[in-house]
Homo-oligomer: A and B are copies of this chain.
């Protein structure tokens, strides 16, 4: 179950190997290969195993000088579509590029898996093949969202692994999110908030108060600061670094935010094309506007991370283009490089042990 970096040695260069699903995305394998090219040309430490139809992938890869000797094509004849049900893929998914992509992490050839495919199916295959970490009830998908914090992003989870989550699950999400923020974003003592409809303690759904109490009780041993309930408006704020919620609410929140960012970007484009003066202005402000666009571009935060499995899986947007794929690969590389998954597993094990001790103390037993 070790997720230590899987290395490829080529002459003087030691490379971290990423397993990539070429076939799942809306834009087809050409966009994925373009993403690999973008990453490979920026990062000499990276190598790939690319899964999919080799007749289609071979020519795409061999054409790219930057991928020479750094991208092995692994033939997988079948494709998981966006309409396939997770349960079907779990039963009949062998031979698909998605299954093969996860398999390379399971058998230790690659450090991290990346796929643009069907989220539900990817989670199902990941759970089936990689298995949950000891002590984890529900794995979660963690996303990054632009924020006012120095890091520029906040972690939010779960954004869609499971529509349900009880108080214990929310505590585990918190622990996993803290581990992600600590290792992926270098925040020594992350601040954690529990998403609710108000910040007062009496507000929210049944069970929210239980989760609040669990997360508060675990803060010291978990080395995080619990800021209590936060609201939707805090997801892009600097009130906390990690926002914890169930996968239904998290998914709706993230997609609402993305849709809002997109409509504003479109309105902004309209505004600059409205008059002669505004067109001139757009030219003058080009550099600043490009920087802004980069700051709020959803493709830059592309890549939900599956947490709570014996291995790391990065889920890229189905509609990701080369920039999006490259951004997901960059995240996968960073996580592999820090040995993130082993550290996460240790945190979860510690938390479980701590809870057991607490329960024993409570019971007055010590067996």
Q: Which residues of A approach B to under 8 Å, CB–CB?
A: 83, 85, 120, 146-148, 160, 163-164, 195, 197-198, 200, 202-205, 231-237, 245, 247-249, 251-264, 266-268, 270-272, 274-275, 277-278, 280-285, 287-289, 291-292, 295-296
Task: Find chain B residues with CB under 8 A from A236 CB.
Answer: 256, 259-260, 262-263
How many copies of this chain sit in the oligomeric assembly? 2
Most chain B CB inside 10 Å of its own CB: which residue of A235, A237, A254, A255 = A255
A274-B251 CB under 8 A given contacts A146-B263, A259-B237, A261-B264? no
Q: Which residues of B contact A164 (CB under 8 A)?
A: 205
**CB-based nearest B residue for A86:** B202
A281 near B271: Cβ-Cβ < 8 Å: no
Chosen A-B contacts, 23 in total, with CB atoms closer than 8 Å, are A148-B263, A197-B247, A232-B253, A232-B259, A233-B255, A233-B259, A235-B256, A235-B259, A236-B256, A248-B249, A249-B249, A260-B260, A267-B295, A272-B285, A275-B288, A277-B284, A277-B288, A278-B284, A280-B281, A281-B282, A281-B284, A282-B285, A284-B284
Given contacts A232-B252, A232-B259, A278-B284, 17 further A-B pairs with CB under 8 A are A120-B198, A195-B252, A232-B256, A233-B259, A235-B256, A235-B259, A237-B259, A252-B252, A256-B257, A257-B260, A264-B264, A267-B295, A271-B291, A274-B288, A275-B287, A278-B285, A284-B284
* Identity of the chain B residue whose Cβ is nearest the Cβ of A160 in the assembled complex: B197
Q: How far is the CA of A27 from the CA of B146 in the complex (A)?
A: 29
Is the CB–CB distance between B247 and A234 below 8 Å? Answer: no
Q: How far is the CA of A267 from the CA of B278 in the complex (A)?
A: 19
Contact yes or no, A197 B260, CB < 8 A:
no
Q: A234-B259, A260-B257, A292-B271 are in contact. Are A204 and B248 (CB under 8 A)?
A: yes
A258 touches B232 (CB 8 A): yes
Bound Cα distance A253, B195 (Å): 11
**Which among B234, B245, B247, B285 is the interface contact of A271 at CB below 8 angstroms?**
B285
* Selected contact of A253 from candidates B120, B200, B253, CB within 8 Å: B253
* Bound Cα distance from A275 to B286, whole angstroms: 11
Known: A160-B197, A248-B197, A284-B284. Contact between A268 and B271, CB under 8 A?
no
Contact residues in B for A258 (Cβ distance below 8 Å) = 232-233
Select A264's contact among B252, B287, B296, beta carbons within 8 Å.
B296
Q: In the docked arrangement, what's the CA distance between A204 and B168, Å?
A: 21
Query: How many Å from the CB of A148 to the closest CB on chain B?
Result: 7
Q: How far is the CB of A231 from chain B (nearest CB, A)?
A: 5
**Complex-state Cα separation, A261 to B146, whole angstroms:** 12
| CB-based nearest B residue for A277 | B284
Contact: A252 with B274, CB < 8 Å?
A: no
Closest Cβ of chain B to A5, distance in Å, is 33
Whole-angstrom distance from the CB of A82 to the nearest CB of chain B?
9
Q: Which residues of B contact A287 (CB under 8 A)?
A: 275, 277-278
Instruction: Report whether B204 and A163 are in contact in the complex, using a CB–CB cutoff of 8 Å.
Output: yes
